[in-house]
Amino acid sequence: QVQLQESGPGLVKSSEILSLTCTVFGGPMGTYYWTWLRQSPGKGLEWIGYVWYTGSTNYNPSLRGRVAILLDTSKNEVALKLRSVTAADTAVYYCARSEWGYAFDPWGPGTLVIVSS
Amino acid sequence: EIVMTQSPLSLPVTPGEPASISCRSSQSLLHTNGYKYLDWYLQKPGQSPQLLIYSGSSRASGVPDRFSGTGSGTDFTLRISRVEAEDVGVYYCMQGLQTPYTFGQGTKLEIK
């Protein structure tokens, strides 16, 4: 069965770029939507956006153009890049797969990113 | 964006008893295609969320049949027919009708 694993720096300095990778194990990337979400104590669960297998993307407007999600099927990876981070971006970041854009299954275990000043 | 509101926020339950969680959306989640774009997730302690129910009432693969989802329009309910100890955690509803997809605040189920 497919498993997802997030990886990347656990500490990012304010105003810099947060870069995370989601590696897909146990199956091809297929025709799915690959989604990033995050969870912080103050804001609960938040949908960041997705990339479809075609390469098309859809992002949360709340991130004001700071976000990019990229697909690399040759490496079975999905990348998240969030620029100009602040303390408000401190959260556990998850990647997840979806057949239709919603109904996320499975999720990765998540990775904690702390933004420091 | 669509606002999702859950109640109660805390739910103590005796094992073997039923439990019910309500989720209300700020606009109808019933699409013209007949699908209801409402998911339920469970986040067990120390784990990432897992999909329980999609399209309002369809159980995800491997989910026990004691979990059921009902509702339409703006009002949805997740029911557990007989709560077991392994059901503890935080339950979230999420709308998938339009982006940005949005979650409810979560309902923490605990065993009495």
Is the C-alpha dihedral spanning A115, B1, B2, B5 positive or negative? positive
Intervals of chain B under pLDDT 50: none
Q: Which residue has the higher pLDDT, A96 or B33?
A: A96
State the number of CA atoms in the 13 A half-sphere of A48 facing the CB. 25
Instruction: Report the residue of chain B nearest A94, measured CA to CA.
Output: B48
Nearest to A102 among B37, B49, B106 (CB): B37
- Mention every residue, 6+ apart, whose C-beta is less than 8 A from residue A105: A96, A97, A98, B50, B51, B60, B61
Residue showing tokens 């073997």: B16
Instruction: Report the residue of chain A nearest B101, measured CA to CA.
Output: A47
- Residues in B closer than 8 angstroms to A95, CB to CB, are none
So what's the pLDDT on residue A64?
A: 78
So what's the pLDDT on residue A42?
A: 74
| pLDDT at residue A27 greater than cutoff 90 | no
Q: What's the rounded mean pLDDT across residues A13-35? A: 94
- Confirm or reject contact between B88 and chain A (CB < 8 A): no
Between residues 15 and 54 of chain B, which touch chain A (CB distance below 8 Å)? 37, 39, 41, 47-51, 54
| pLDDT band, very low/low/confident/very high, at A105 (cuts 50, 70, 90) | very high
What is the C-alpha separation between A22 and B81, in angstroms, rounded?
A: 36
CB pairs under 8 A between A and B: 55
Phi, psi (deg, nearest 5) at residue B56 = 80, -40
Instruction: Report the residue of chain A nearest B91, measured CA to CA.
Output: A45
CB distance A47–B92 less than 8 Å?
Answer: no
CB distance B39–A103 less than 8 Å?
Answer: yes
So what's the pLDDT on residue B34?
A: 87
